[in-house]
Structure 1
Amino acid sequence: MRFKYDTKVYDEINVTPLLDLAWNLLIIFMVMATATVQGISVDLPRASSAPSLAKPHTRAITITADGRIYLDTVGVSLAELEAQLATAKAADPKLPVVVKGDKGVSYERVIEVLDVAKRVHISELGLVTDKLVK
Structure 2
Amino acid sequence: MDVGGGRKAYNEINITPMVDLTFVLLVIFIIMTTASVQGIKVDLPKASSAVNLAKPKTIAITVNDQGQVFMDAYPVTLAELEARLRTEKATNPEVPIVLKGDQVVQYGKVTEVLDLLRKLELNKVGLATGKSN
Unpaired runs of 5+ residues, structure 2, are 1-19
How many residues are treated as equivalent by the alignment? 116
Percent of residue pairs bearing the same amino acid type? 46
TM-score by length of 1: 0.73
Larger radius of gyration: 2
> Partner of 2:45 in structure 1?
45
- Structure 1 CA distance, aligned partners of 2:90 and 2:56? 16
- Aligned-partner SS, 2:67: coil
Shift of residue 35, structure 1, vs aligned partner: 4.7
TM-score by length of 2: 0.74
- Structure 2 CA distance, aligned partners of 1:94 and 1:27? 37
- Aligned-partner SS, 1:115: helix
Q: Output the aligned Cα RMSD.
A: 2.5
Unpaired runs of 5+ residues, structure 1, are 1-16
Shift of residue 39, structure 1, vs aligned partner: 2.2
- Aligned-partner SS, 1:90: helix
> Partner of 2:126 in structure 1?
126
> Partner of 1:71 in structure 2?
71
> Partner of 1:14 in structure 2?
none
- Structure 1 CA distance, aligned partners of 2:77 and 2:125? 19
